[in-house]
């Protein structure tokens, strides 16, 4: 029997700091909780990210690859630390929300507001990730037509 949670149409969007090891600087990029269903999946890639600090401890429960699903800038490029323009960033949040609205996604405003106000574990740091204190942008659902 397949888990009822295996196929979810719900995606959580985050603004997450990463260490750009090529440019030796920090960058806030938009990440997603999973590879989304629908057309947005063409703009998401999984990539392994370095630790933010050499002092950061890796949990025994952490994935050895530390893969994060990153939202890529159009036209779809392969994610690259050399090209800082590969990733969607803070400035792109309005464009991302507009894209979601016009491409079959429903932004769950009430649920997003409740989760952000209650500060429920959709953001923050975790020992299983090497990125920093991510902030939730929104929760969206894909409604296939």
73-96 pLDDT tens trace: 887 667 766 776 788 999 999 999
pLDDT one-digit tens code per residue, 7-59: 678 899 999 988 877 777 788 999 999 999 999 999 999 887 766 665 555 55
The residue that leads in pLDDT, 126 or 133, is 133
Q: Provide the pLDDT for residue 93.
A: 95
| Residue 51 burial (CB count, 10 A) | 15
**Distance of alpha carbon 77 from alpha carbon 138, whole angstroms:** 24
Helix (H, G, I), strand (E, B) or coil at 12: strand
The residue that leads in pLDDT, 52 or 64, is 52
**Interior CA angle at 112 toward 102 and 88, to 5°?**
55
The residue that leads in pLDDT, 21 or 129, is 21
pLDDT above 60 for 72: yes
Length of the chain: 145
The residue that leads in pLDDT, 87 or 65, is 87
Q: Provide the pLDDT for residue 131.
A: 56
Q: Provide the pLDDT for residue 132.
A: 59
Q: Provide the pLDDT for residue 63.
A: 53
The residue that leads in pLDDT, 131 or 66, is 66
First to last CA, the chain: 27
**Distance of alpha carbon 13 from alpha carbon 138, whole angstroms:** 5
């Amino acid at each position: 029997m397949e888990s009822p949670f295996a196929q979810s149409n719900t995606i959580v969007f985050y603004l997450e700091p990463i260490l750009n090891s090529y440019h030796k600087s920090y960058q806030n990029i938009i990440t997603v909780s999973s590879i989304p269903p629908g057309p947005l999946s063409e703009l998401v890639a999984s990539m392994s990210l370095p630790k933010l600090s050499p002092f950061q401890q890796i949990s025994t429960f952490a994935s050895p690859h530390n893969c994060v699903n990153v939202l890529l800038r159009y036209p779809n490029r392969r994610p690259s630390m050399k090209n800082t323009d590969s990733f969607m960033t803070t400035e792109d949040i309005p464009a991302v929300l507009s894209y979601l609205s016009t491409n079959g996604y429903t932004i769950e405003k009430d649920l997003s507001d409740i989760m952000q106000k209650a500060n429920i574990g959709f953001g923050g740091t975790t020992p299983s990730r090497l990125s920093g204190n991510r902030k939730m942008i929104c929760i969206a659902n894909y409604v296939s037509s």
